[in-house]
Chains A and B, each alone.
Chain A
């Protein structure tokens, strides 16, 4: 058993976001700044106190520009996490480690982009000129054959999950329906007031069969920031501290970027299993302690193996777990109470951390009673990360 030292000593003290839209009308840098300012305001912390920044390698807004424009005199920690949507929970882990080590006092984790009005993420890697790096060379095994988008990469797994576990498209659809139902009551959600039915899911066109349109999140313009500090300092701030009970990164089993087609089995998410093991070991919690979870849901199919990797049900049983209503409000484990990336916004999972914080604070629009410990996950199919957030007792 291994327990991470920062767990229980660090906390999220502020969250802040821009509106989520299809066209922000402002620069990505401005979105990042607005989100950071909102998180500082939420916490009641002055920008000058921040001495750490953590973000994605994919982020286009450099730390020096944020430092300069937030009016920060100096930074003692700045870290980036690779692998796209696998990063969000890990940026919080980087922050917590820096704080626990005494390297930094306040670390802002941020992600902001015009992913809808600017470069659309869902178009994937088409038209990308190849360079001979080891990372780019991996696309040689898929791009010339027409697997060019995240949806196409996931579809190959989805088909195999269906084949081995008897999963039907409707089982994926139930995830989308639950997410959109939760988004429908969230005024910040892109799909506020727009629930869908399973029939609508089934009738939506295929993007990459077996994925329907409504199995796929849509790109968003927006920014989200999370402010991390020590639990001790957080107790003196504006909001109730949200304790980082555990955080984990995971990469496993012949890992590739969304295209781990060469590993023995395609029906699990071993990298998420690596996270799950650390989350349970570090937090000392079990599935019985968790009443709600934020599962990364850029595409519905990968929600199923996440439920299984964390042990909320057995292997191959997620479809029954979902069909039995467990992921709905009032169920055993309501998921993505903000609407998820399918319903609220696709902020590469950063908005999911914010929802985890709101659940622990008791301020979610779809508040789950007794949500003392909230599990949040990062991107699926990629090297990933996860968080367990909890109330300060």
Chain B
């Protein structure tokens, strides 16, 4: 390990010239537009019709199509050409650090505050202020500096539309001292290719042939259609030997579960939660639960969704929290209580999601699309960029809260990287409710196999129950169905930012 202690003293002076300095305005190449919005919605899986459905949007509280608020800092990105603005104080700091071998960057925090939603045709600009450069820190990735900037976003008329606090780690990648611990500590190799082989015979072969096609097959009598689990060559109900199968939907509920701890066996990652899942077709199956903490997340009766473990001798069905379900109706503030829990949900991280998310947020940093570069910079693969994480948080909260929930802010701290093949499991709760402003504060954690990927706090403006005095209106909406009192804008440009998420 390289020692960095000697470099410690002078650094504050090194950057003091830049701290507090503003850059020049950066203006987007393209106005807020339908195509970029559509790409973003596709990548995030965000089906909120306020962004894409003219008819819905017109009759919504927005009064017309709006842009996803999480795209605030996407519009004015350079894209593939990626010019660094030499006038930017952050660029100056980065150039200096790069010269010293601190040549890798990961995003750490993004705190977005929305004064109002953007609309098509608006041209976004931002002005950056370098807020802080930390002292040299040791991090898991290597020694580095946390660099914090604030960005004020306006439209072509100079109207303020939102703010961003952004913090990145600029670091010198360090070969991590992987403590090759597994064998040494007596923990067997978790490589799933070492899992026990199933004994396959004429009576269960259909199941494993289905698994090869990622189909969860349940035996069904060819004559009387009765389901039979475990399968066998004869239907006990009607006596037929003509056994067939059906493909299960993959939806089910947890019937029971066990958490094996001893002995630990090669092929398995611990903690291991083995579920007994009741499929909606009525039969049961034993399979591992993934992305779920056996103590915090798992309870009998919880809904589950099929996915597949790759890399085992044969593909194995597993179950995860269901994908987010998009609410058609917007939740009302009055129907919520502080402490309410959002339904646990999960989304698989695929290379496609990583790359599509990066490109939809115009982030062409190679670590988000080029595996070779990612590996060279010390990652095992490409990984999710912070804007995709923000986008997914927005999508999950929006799916739960409904199409007319209005985002006021998203504050997100990034932790464990999101690599392809992993799973993001989102757990959230209503942290606070403010009936004065109609605001609900939601805490959300997105966890993957490496730990907490993102911890986020989201502020939402929610409609009130019928008969409640006012209907909140999206700030900046062109028409006001009723005459609401203008909601206070939290976190406007002058407000103290940097609230911890």
Contacts and interface: CB of A to CB of B under 8 A. Distances in A.
Contacts of B203: 134, 137
B199 A144 contact: no
Nearest to A142: B286
Given A145-B316, A147-B260, A132 B265 contact: no
Nearest to B262: A207
A121 interface: no
Given A156-B258, A208-B261, 10 more contacts: A129-B197, A130-B198, A137-B198, A146-B260, A146-B265, A147-B274, A163-B256, A205-B262, A209-B294, A210-B258
Contact of B200 (A140, A205, A256): A140
Nearest to B258: A155
Interface residues of B, number: 38
Interface string A202-222: 000111111000000000000
Contact of B229 (A155, A157, A262): A262
A159 B260 contact: no
Interface string B183-205: 00000000000011111110110
A128 B196 contact: yes
A123 B314 CA distance: 23
A266 interface: yes
Interface string B242-271: 000000000000011111111101001000
Nearest to A148: B265
A138 interface: yes
A138 B203 CA distance: 10
B283 interface: yes
B201 A261 contact: no
A261 B262 contact: no
B256 A141 contact: no
22 contacts: A130-B197, A130-B199, A134-B201, A137-B201, A138-B230, A139-B198, A141-B285, A141-B286, A143-B198, A144-B314, A146-B260, A146-B265, A156-B257, A156-B276, A160-B255, A163-B300, A205-B261, A208-B259, A208-B261, A210-B258, A261-B284, A262-B284
Contact of B256 (A130, A149, A266): A266
Interface of B: 195-201, 203-204, 207, 229-230, 255-263, 265, 268, 272, 274, 276, 283-288, 294, 300, 312-314, 316
A330 to B, nearest CB: 35
Contacts of B276: 156, 160, 261
Interface in A177-206: 205-206
A221 B104 CA distance: 61
Contact of A144 (B195, B229, B261, B284): B195
A60 interface: no
Contacts of B196: 125-128, 130, 139, 143-144, 148
Contacts of B207: 140
